[in-house]
Amino acid sequence: MNARVLGGGGGGGDGETTVVLAHGYGGSSHIWDDVAPALAKTFRVVVFDWSFSGDVVVDDDDDAAAVSEDISCSYFGFADELVAMMDELALTAVVFVGHSMAGMIGCIASVARPELFRHLVLVGASPRYINDDGDGYVGGFERGEVDAMLAAIEADFAAWAPLVSPEGPYLTAPMEFVRVMEAILLDH
């Protein structure tokens, strides 16, 4: 999962609080590049890549590093993957920040292993992303929109990615996110 541990605090925090930053579908750990260094001044920060991200380096000679097809197709499998990484790094009572589907993966993992999590911060997470007129559920997307997005990603990820990348006023968002996280975590 290419886990990287950054910082350790020292900038006013306790240095013992670990913040785990998890990217969503279509992303990689690099979505946190503007946030992680600033958080690492106050907290120990872990960033990683999910097996589905395409950024995971797998050593075919190492069975332990091989990515299972079963894990690649299941939120519960991804939750197991997260727990295994946290166990490997000996993490407990972390602040887990999950973007999009990673938020739901973190929720599943926290139910399975609550001692690993102190707080969950869900950024744009939803238990179900597709609208369902039958039961009135609004997830935000129609089935055709999701199918089109997945087809665009599969056809040409490099062309798709800039279409959903933040620009303009969103450029200040990373530092605002860091400010809010520090305020919340240092006050508790």
CA–CA distance, 10 with 15 (Å, rounded to integer): 6
Q: What is residue 156's DSSP assignment?
A: -
Per-residue pLDDT of 95-113, as tens digits, reads 999 998 899 999 999 999 9
CATH number of 4-128+172-186: 3.40.50.1820
Per-residue pLDDT of 46-86, as tens digits, reads 999 988 766 565 555 444 444 444 445 688 999 999 999 99
Task: Provide the CB-side half-sphere exposure for 139 (13 A, CA).
Answer: 18
CA distances from 170 to 34, 132, 174 (A): 12, 30, 8
Mean pLDDT of the chain: 80
